[in-house]
Amino acid sequence: MNVVIFGTGGIGGFIAGKLGSLLKNPRSGLHSLSIVARGDHLQAIQSKGLVYRDPDNNERTVFPSLATDVPGRLPWADLIFLCVKGYDLDNAVRAVERIVRNDTIILPLLNGADIYDRVRERLPKGFILPGAIYISSSIVSPGVVAHTGGKGLIITGPEPGTESGKYLELLDLLSSADIPCQWNADPLPPVWEKYVFIAPFCMITGVTGRSIGEVCEDPQLNRDVRGMIEETAAVAAAAGVELSADIADRTMKKAEGFPRDTRTSFQRDIEKHREKDERDLFGGTVIRMGKKLGVDTPVTERYNNLLP
């Protein structure tokens, strides 16, 4: 398979670090691995390879077949991982359109409940799989990606209404690279389940500057984040995605299981006053879909308006 990873930050770097170990194995099914990165990170990868550091602090260096910031140099692809931030998604999709064939698999692994719809609207060809990943991973220095938490579990499944033998090739490739994958006949509920957790907690930590543990402990913030969870779950239900009746309780319990001082990546982006952040992905999506589907989202709207 010709594999392209578009965006080689924490998630893309994890995928590249795992898949890169297969490049010297002709029986692995991986023919080439091309990655898109930028800046000092790209320059370091081009000169010294990509260093992947696992949760046990073991390191491996992989050398992609191609590392570039010019999408026009990418070869046609059997499999494309989209690992960009939400605000870069549209540009990434436009950039890969020319390398997509009818049987190309596109697997977006960025946070968001409507990512599949956004990609499909812009890509007429290929198989687009709804997906999510559970991982804590980031660039710690140019050319070095550290995987610090989570198993790197990919949750995905077939594009609605499709069947393809290439799905088996994808699963075989992930298994060979020791990337855990949960394949679901209907992948949308687990994708939304992650979103129901991450969107409310990103919004409330971004506004308050409080950690996940502090949000859970504070009575008013606890009520507010639960309110956003319930609103997001109601939007999912109105969109035809069936979540468990106790989704709010299970989401709060999941949050309480995190280390008290855990901070969200969105919260860190807000604190660093980055030029771009994912507020539209978390707050904007819920509000827009709520209005379209007739679901009130007052708590989400209030926190969205409070973001600096």
DSSP the chain: -EEEEE--SHHHHHHHHHHGGGTT-TTSS--EEEEE--HHHHHHHHHH-EEEE-TTS-EEEE--SEEES-GGGPPPEEEEEE---GGGHHHHHHHHGGGEEEEEEEEE-SS-SSHHHHHHHH--SSEE--EEEEEEEEEEETTEEEEEEEEEEEEE-PPTT---THHHHHHHHHHHTT--EEE-SS-HHHHHHHHHHHHHHHHHHHHH---HHHHHHSHHHHHHHHHHHHHHHHHHHHTT----TTHHHHHHHHHHTS-TT---HHHHHHHTT-S--SHIIIIIHHHHHHHHHT---HHHHHHHHH--
Average pLDDT over residues 118-137: 96
Q: Which residue has the tokens 């890969």?
A: 96
Mean pLDDT of the chain: 96
Select the CATH number that applies to the domain covering 2-186 from these four: 3.40.50.720, 2.30.140.10, 3.30.360.10, 3.40.50.9100.
3.40.50.720
Assign domain 189-306 to its CATH superfamily. N-(1-d-carboxylethyl)-l-norvaline Dehydrogenase; domain 2 (1.10.1040.10)
What is the rounded average pLDDT of the residues 199-215? 97
Residue 287: its pLDDT value, please?
Answer: 98
pLDDT of residue 147: 96
Q: What percent of the chain has pLDDT over 90?
A: 92
**Model's pTM, two decimal places?**
0.94
Mean pLDDT of the 274-292 span: 95
| Per-residue pLDDT reduced to its tens digit, 65-116 | 999 999 999 999 999 999 999 999 999 999 999 999 999 999 999 999 999 9
| pLDDT of residue 232 exceeding 90 | yes
Does residue 133 carry a pLDDT above 90? yes
pLDDT of 187 over the 90 cut: yes
Please state the domain extents for the chain: 2-186, 189-306
Question: Which residue type occupies 198?
Answer: I
> Which residue in 33, 111, 38, 108 sits closest to 74, CA to CA?
33
Q: Which of 23-37, 67-81, 204-218, 286-300 has the lowest mean pLDDT?
A: 23-37
In percent, the amount of the chain with pLDDT more than 70 equals 100
pLDDT, residue 274, reads 87
pLDDT band of 26, cuts 50, 70, 90? confident
pLDDT of residue 163: 86
**Are 189 and 195 a contacting pair, CB within 8 Å?**
no
